[in-house]
Structure 1
Amino acid sequence: MTTFAKLMGAASVALCTFASAPVLAEGGTLVIGSTQTPRHLNGSVQSGIATAVPSTQLFASPLRYDENWEPQPYLAESWSVAEDGLSVTLNLVQGATFHDGMPITSEDVAFSIMNTKENHPFKSMFDPVDTIETPDAHTVIINLSKPHPALLLALSPALAPVLPKHIYGDGQDPKTHPANSDPVGSGPFILEEFTPGQAIVMKKNPDFFIEGRPKLDEIIIRLIKDESALLIAMENGEADMYPFMAQSTSIKRLEKDENLIVTAEGYAAVGPINWLAFNLESPKLSDVRVRQAIAYATDRTFITKALHRGTSSAQRGPIIESSPFFDETIPAYDVDLEKAQALMAEAGFADGMELTIDFIPGPKEQQQSIAEYLKSQLKKIGIDVTVRAAPDFPTWAGRIASHDFELTMDLVFNWGDPVIGVHRTYLSDNIIKGVIWSNTQSYSNAKVDELLNAAAVETDAAKRKDLYAQFQQIVAADLPVYWINATPYHTAYNAKLLNPPLGIWGTMHPMDTVEWAE
């Protein structure tokens, strides 16, 4: 019997008898249910929910953020930004160690930031980082080629895990390094077992550098492909938390359980947008009129009101509508089948065409259901759509990253600031095959590059807003993607759980203060 099987047997017994023998405030096990299957656990070279949730428990980062969007100390006990905005100094805590006992030094932090810059799909996130000085073991000076208004946010747990240089600096490719699946970090929990497709077991780090933390003895992430099984696990106590829940039926179902709390809090920095992506390398989709025709044929209101039962909201552009940078004047492409048919004819496809659409496997409502809706809806303008399923997330991600698709449903996060989560989709120099959630549409527009590069260094909020408004108008005309809705993420958790992760990053944040009520 594997360690996971033993732990799950013990956890099931404990949870089934929870009412008579509640877990004490100190210690205990938190079982998180997830439909997201990670390829590995290193958030320095991989974005997304599947990797970020375990990565932020295993790796510490320079800073962390509170629920008010204010940076807080983590590996850096203090920091300062130069008056000209061209350097940031981090003062590291004393005595912090990696899980193998090696001390964390400024060299590790410098190595990690540069590693993330070179290998993470969010190319713009650390692009302004020029050089990093390490004058002593606990001082890091990040020198920038230009001001970077999103730098401190980029030093958050989900975006900037600190890696041990003595392990990752051995010359191997960071994207395929064997330590990615068996990591040595410095976070509140230590990896006990990673069984791909089944579970991630993480034990309490007894030498964590923040005294008295973590509160829990262990966190188990159960990887459950079938959402129905996950809902049952939540209802019968085999799982204690279900984050990133987006299905309207699931949300309404678990809200009825008196032993659970269901909330939409915890996703402020995520900015999740559900969209239809076009592969502009396809000769059928390289003509903007075809993309616009598809947009005019898609009824966004029907999707949000009928398919999603009113739990999601329409999304008209690349920047989440709740952001101060969103441009209200962006064209909405409200459904107009006559206009769509005329555009198809103008593009030379009056007799129609055939296209294939992919979708992220998992909960159907936000992905597969929309793909199937598009199959029926686009037939009205002469497009015969084949819906192509993937057996699991890595298969879908591999197809999209290698640009082996025509249309795909996708879910992409704004990640708090446009320079982190928006730029990556539209910058022409971020067309990188093999990297998911980069510019997989192969979209290239010199004016968009100019505007985004200017917004990335503009420290005046009003001027920055204007630059993003111009950008939104251009991409709304070019339509490398058609934005559909903001994903209605919710978290369901056991009512006896204290300090659940409801800050701006939700469960993509260290859960060192989470504990059970007595």
Structure 2
Amino acid sequence: MMYFKMLSRSKLIALVFLIIVLGLPQFFAFQSLREEYGGVLRVAFMSDMETQNVLYQQSWWSYIVTSMCYDTLVVFDPSIKVTPWLATKWNVSNDGLVWTLEIVKNATWHDGVPLTSEDVAFTFNYIKEKEVAPFISRVEFIDHVEVIDKYTVRFYLSEKSATFLTRTLRSVPILPKHIWGGIEKPEEFKNDKFIGSGMFVFEGRVPEQYIKLKTNEKYWGKKPYVDGVIIKIYKDLDSMIMALRAGEVDVVPWYSPAAVIPDLEADPNIAIDNSPDYYVYITYFNIKKHPLDVKEFRHALAYATDREEIVKTVIGTKYGEPQYSLIASALDFWYNPNLPKYKFNITKAKEILDKLGYIDTNGDGVREDENGKPIELEINPPNYDPVRIRAAQLMQLWWTELGLRVSVVPLDFDTMINKAYVKHDFCMVMVGDGDLDPDYMLSTMCSWEYVEYGMNCMGYNSSLWDQLYREQRVEVDLNKRREIIWKMQEIFADELPMLPLYMQYCTYPYRTDTFIGYVPFPSGIVTDVNPWTWLKVHRVVKPTPTTTPPVTTPTTPTIPMSTPITTPIVTPTPPAAPGLEMWVIGIVVVIIVILAVAIAIRRRK
């Protein structure tokens, strides 16, 4: 108070001006930040979770929900570097066989039970003990895991692993021991409560309609801006795009059809991501069925499949690329570019079939095998994906020209996965598959994966492949590991137990007038390996109507296919400060308060 008494009128005015100039921006920046919080993000899915059992999920849609509600020990950051998550730090013995990890000390399960190293050790020991098929390749080299103290856990490996961080610790969801510990048959557990430790809490689900998640207010890490997420299930892509345009959803985590991209781009309230994808869309052959068990027959099918035409007519050359390996070309360090491409050649395909003795002996237009049985093939794409359905129809056209009887039967995803990966009772299925570490795709051809829920639905069995797989997994020198992986891709290109078709860029559309902050990432702004979007996405802070600026569509960084996958990705710019009208009100309030104080002081003389 004495300080105000000593000020002249001119100095008092100058003080007021400084307070306005220096203080109000901070005040309104805080207000802007506060306004970013809240709201429910609406996400469109084209398929429901096929199961809430996180150990036996097979669909990408299920993986996304699990990644939101369950934590792993480490994650990839947007530049594809291993980053601590539940594990805060780790060290490894000189021989690479003993890994000691410390975990966060403030994590709890969604039911309030503390998360400790007991849960971490239990998760890996349980998966190994129960021989959980989808995780076999990720844990088979772990001998056992022990608890050191409440927040320290130690892994003992039977052999070195180049993928221990990048695949095992990154992709295994940590389970609550107090829930899963009493489950004798994990494959039968429904996991209705879906209790994890992740940033979102499972609130409920109406099958084929919606999944409702709320933000975990007790999350151990940085909490999301949004109050929650509601996932709406739509029957097809057209319905999802229509819902986005109508403002019923905020983001569609699926590839935009090339035909509608220009219209979406013309909408000032919609933007489109264009991240590369590591998923390859593949036709898996059941090589336990004849004549798919004949390698040369599979070669003929490859020659009779015009992958460039599929990309050109179905996807668009701006939005996808033909693929020739089980490793995506986007993973350019691991991808072998020197593989045979089986360029489209119907004549050569017919010559191969003639040489095999598969000819049309009765003139009905269909070739018979060596036993006189007509060659009939059935292709099963998922019924929600128009791209795979159209690709299957083109393959049907070309293969019919070969003299084969081909049918295309779209199936709902659950049925397709059950036929291929559980019962192994199928001819061909079309699946998108991949991971940022090539270990996963290589494991799909390992003999031990040919079990119920295993990743090898084809029935491929090769001792050489199994040996090379283990060699690449233990090779910690990146260049030496790449040599092995390139050799495995050469074997793959000759054996062809599956037929790679294409890769699509992640042209995921989203509204820019409701939420922004989506983080570009290989495989898209919304995916099972990208937790950063959930931490960054926030409500748009809208200016007051009197000073509303023109809406601009934020551009998403594009990562060229030739750029290494480790190239850093720029995150979106935060929203602007509030409009001018709030500034005026704030200025007036501050002036009135300070002048009132000054006048009151001067009157006390």
TM-score, normalized by length of structure 2? Answer: 0.77
What is the distance in 1 between the residues matched to 2:157 and 2:394?
A: 47
What is the distance in 1 between the residues matched to 2:350 and 2:247?
A: 52
Spell out the pairing of 1:461-480 with structure 2 (5 A cutoff). Answer: 461-480=478-497
- What is the aligned partner in structure 2 of residue 138 from structure 1? 151
**How far is 1:501 from its partner?**
3.9
What is the distance in 1 between the residues matched to 2:292 and 2:256?
A: 30
Give the counterpart of 2:236 among 226, 236, 246: 226
Alpha-carbon displacement from aligned partner over 1:269-311 (angstroms, at most 9, x marks no partner) = xx10011211111022111111111111111111111222212
What is the distance in 2 between the residues matched to 1:143 and 1:379?
A: 54
Change (3 A) 1:516 1:458: same
- What is the aligned partner in structure 1 of residue 163 from structure 2? 150
Asked if 1:502 is matched to 2:520, the reply is yes
Read off the aligned partner of 2:437 and give its amino acid letter: D
Read off the aligned partner of 1:335 and give its amino acid letter: F
Alpha-carbon displacement from aligned partner over 1:35-86 (angstroms, at most 9, x marks no partner) = 0321123433324311111111111221222111122232112222333222
- What is the aligned partner in structure 2 of residue 280 from structure 1? 287
What is the distance in 2 between the residues matched to 1:131 and 1:28?
A: 44
What is the distance in 2 between the residues matched to 1:361 and 1:55?
A: 23
The percentage of counterpart residues that share the same residue type is 27
What is the distance in 2 between the residues matched to 1:154 and 1:375?
A: 37
- What is the aligned partner in structure 2 of residue 403 from structure 1? 424
Give the counterpart of 2:140 among 116, 127, 130: 127
Asked if 1:215 is matched to 2:225, the reply is yes
Give the counterpart of 1:162 among 165, 169, 174: 174
Give the counterpart of 1:59 among 65, 70, 81: 70
Spell out the pairing of 1:380-395 with structure 2 (5 A cutoff). Answer: 380-390=401-411, 392-395=412-415
Counting matched residue pairs gives: 485
Structure 2 portions without partners, runs of 5+: 1-33, 361-366, 368-374, 542-605
Higher strand share goes to which structure?
A: 1
- For 1:112, what is the secondary structure of its paired residue? helix
What is the distance in 2 between the residues matched to 1:218 and 1:495?
A: 18
- For 1:422, what is the secondary structure of its paired residue? helix
Cα RMSD of the aligned pairs, angstroms, is: 2.0
**How far is 1:199 from its partner?**
0.8
What is the distance in 1 between the residues matched to 2:522 and 2:342?
A: 31
**How far is 1:514 from its partner?**
2.4
Higher helix share goes to which structure?
A: 2
**How far is 1:174 from its partner?**
1.9
TM-score, normalized by length of structure 1? Answer: 0.89
- For 1:153, what is the secondary structure of its paired residue? helix
**How far is 1:356 from its partner?**
1.0
- For 1:50, what is the secondary structure of its paired residue? helix
Give the counterpart of 2:60 among 43, 49, 67: 49
Say whether the 8 Å CA contact 1:36–1:49 is kept in structure 2. Answer: no
What is the distance in 2 between the residues matched to 1:140 and 1:504?
A: 31
Say whether the 8 Å CA contact 2:283–2:498 is kept in structure 1. Answer: yes
Say whether the 8 Å CA contact 2:105–2:116 is kept in structure 1. Answer: no
Change (3 A) 1:490 1:325: same
Give the counterpart of 1:517 among 540, 565, 573: 540
Asked if 1:422 is matched to 2:441, the reply is yes
**How far is 1:408 from its partner?**
2.0
Say whether the 8 Å CA contact 1:65–1:156 is kept in structure 2. Answer: no
Asked if 1:312 is matched to 2:304, the reply is no
Say whether the 8 Å CA contact 2:416–2:429 is kept in structure 1. Answer: no
Say whether the 8 Å CA contact 2:176–2:196 is kept in structure 1. Answer: yes
Say whether the 8 Å CA contact 1:296–1:340 is kept in structure 2. Answer: yes
- What is the aligned partner in structure 1 of residue 376 from structure 2? 354
Read off the aligned partner of 1:368 and give its amino acid letter: I
Say whether the 8 Å CA contact 2:102–2:153 is kept in structure 1. Answer: yes
Change (3 A) 1:328 1:345: same
What is the distance in 2 between the residues matched to 1:116 and 1:360?
A: 29
Asked if 1:364 is matched to 2:416, the reply is no
Say whether the 8 Å CA contact 2:134–2:453 is kept in structure 1. Answer: no
Change (3 A) 1:81 1:254: farther
Larger mean CA deviation between 490-499 and 112-121 belongs to 112-121
**How far is 1:357 from its partner?**
1.0
- For 2:254, what is the secondary structure of its paired residue? strand
What is the distance in 2 between the residues matched to 1:250 and 1:173?
A: 47
- What is the aligned partner in structure 1 of residue 502 from structure 2? 485
**How far is 1:146 from its partner?**
1.4
**How far is 1:252 from its partner?**
4.1
Read off the aligned partner of 1:408 and give its amino acid letter: V
